[in-house]
Amino acid sequence: MERTQVAIIGAGPAGLLLAHLLHLRGIDSVVLERQSRAHIERRIRAGVLEQGSVDLLTSVGLADRLHRERLVHHGVELLFDGVGHRVPLSELSGRELTIYGQHELVKDLVAARLATGRPLWFDAPAVSVEGVEDAPVVRYVHDGREHELRCDVVAGCDGFHGVSRPAAGGALREYEHGYPYAWLGVLAEAPPSAEELIYASHDRGFALHSMRSPTVTRLYLQVAPDESAESWPDSRVWKELAVRLGRDQGFELTEGPIVDKSVTALRSFVVEPMRHGRLFLAGDAAHIVPATGAKGLNLAVVDVAVLASALGRFFADGDESGMDAYSATCLARIWRVQHFSWWMTSVLHLAPDGDPFTRRLQLSQLRYLTSSTAAATSFAENYVGLPFPEGVT
């Protein structure tokens, strides 16, 4: 039997950042991760950080390498009708975006956690979460033995398929929306073909040009949900990218060895509330957004920032007001981001039936966005990220 103040299930960005924020407040925690350290530090995920996320990481001493190696973007390009249209995000919103691979951030967070000397157990899957109404107990397996971890609070940061959310029983309501397309994502050892992200709306389907570093490019193609990565040999990938990212003039796609390739379905998911008793859900355990707006990681950062502030007040003087407000505070932002991500996804992706009416509506919206300062400003404010909730540090 073991004891801690906060049991954190999941060592992704949400769980590791929460552990660090609690450590700075003098709050003890144990972090449990079912995968190995090597696995989580290699896992390719998002790479776009909002300024609010970077500001928080900087303020708590976690962004030294990030600032040395990141790519800073002040705009994005919307490509349609064979013409690229730059949206000056920083000029319109006063904020910037950072490109820094999520797996690189995880490496930084793991190193910071290990430096504290507080427990971070890899290859330690949580088996069950019990007693969340008033006396939580997390049972997990590590080094071939089952352990019982008693705690005051459980933070479920273990993703959509983790054990945390089911521990609330039927107390939570789930909202879900599926999309009739998926993304084929590839990682290529090739210099980026442009300095900023390119979102392409093409009659053959959506494409996205992104990057991870000056020598590594991240690229996506809209595909059917039932397609496999094996049906897309490298030559086919590059040929299709050249078509969808092509334009009337001034662009050349840089090719290189493809080192990672996978197909990911797009979906939206939200659970309400994000708390049941002493169980608090954060990140993908509570919500998923389509990757179109690059919001998933940034929502998780806000979740744990709100939760850490609330737990800080609770453990300092027994004030539960922040804990009581946690779900409503986070959900207000989550639903705004869900709408923006749904809107971007709907506008940029080709409908499976190729409906010409829908296609004309999409192009109309894109033309309006790139010709109206008011529309572009609204887009920029949502894309670069809303301010953190008041009182969260």
- Where in the chain do CATH 3.30.9.10 domains reside? 177-265
At residue 44, the pLDDT reads 78
Residue 272 has pLDDT above 70, yes or no: yes
At residue 249, the pLDDT reads 82
At residue 148, the pLDDT reads 97
Rounded to 5 degrees, φ, ψ at 177 are -140, 125
pLDDT band at 393 (very low <50, low <70, confident <90, very high): low
Model pLDDT for residues 39-95, shown as the tens digit of each residue: 999 987 778 999 999 999 999 999 999 999 999 999 999 999 999 999 999 999 999
Which residues share a beta bridge with 99? 48, 71
The fold of the 2-47+101-172+273-349 domain, in CATH, is FAD/NAD(P)-binding domain (3.50.50)
Cα atoms found within 13 Å of the Cα of residue 94, Cβ hemisphere only: 2
Q: Considering the entire predicted model, what is its pTM?
A: 0.95
The C-alpha atoms of residue 95 and residue 386 are separated, in whole angstroms, by 10
- Where in the chain do CATH 3.50.50.60 domains reside? 2-47+101-172+273-349
| Average of per-residue pLDDT values in the chain | 95
The C-alpha atoms of residue 16 and residue 12 are separated, in whole angstroms, by 6
User: Which whole number is the average pLDDT over 23-29?
Assistant: 98
Give Cβ neighbours of residue 181 (< 8 Å, ≥ 6 apart).
205, 206, 222, 223, 224, 225, 266, 349, 350, 352
Under CATH, domain 177-265 is a member of which superfamily? D-Amino Acid Oxidase, subunit A, domain 2 (3.30.9.10)
At residue 45, the pLDDT reads 79
